[in-house]
Amino acid sequence: MVSRCAISILILSALGVPWALEQPSSSVLEFHPAMQFIAKKFSMHKVWIWLGSYGHSCPKPTYVYSNCPHILKELYLPLLEKEWSAQMVNRYVDSQGKARVCGADDLKQSQHYPVMFGRTAAAGEIKQCRTNYPVMF
């Protein structure tokens, strides 16, 4: 799957089309050989964001990669200090004394993006396209 994503990014980069890719903070995508190749051949920037800053039910640390640093600057918001209502995992010790973690009821809902994140990303993309890139559609 990473190779398919990398091919798409490679084509977009070669055409000079802006792109952005979101990954969970635990992702190792950037260390894949194909992504390393793209990072060396083209400009690839990364920003750490919190989807919780955009109204998500949990903090959800996330990386966004892009060939447009302006888009990434639009996305950065500090994490809000508040009580988070969602419980993503249940931690427990099993009958043999081994620590375990399993997904909680709120985990499935965490895959959805907050509307504010989508609007902010789109606004940054549109602004960037109007200033530096030809219209491709």
Q: Which residues have a Cβ under 8 Å from the Cβ of 44 and sit 6 or more positions away?
A: 35, 38, 65, 66, 67
Q: Where are the domains of the chain?
A: 2-81+113-132
pLDDT in tens, the chain (137 residues): 888 999 999 999 888 888 889 998 889 999 999 999 998 988 888 998 888 888 888 888 899 998 888 778 778 787 877 777 778 888 999 999 999 999 888 887 777 888 888 888 877 666 665 545 444 43
Q: Which residue has the tokens 């609007």?
A: 119
Provide the H-helix boundaries in 1-137: 2-15, 33-41, 69-75, 115-132
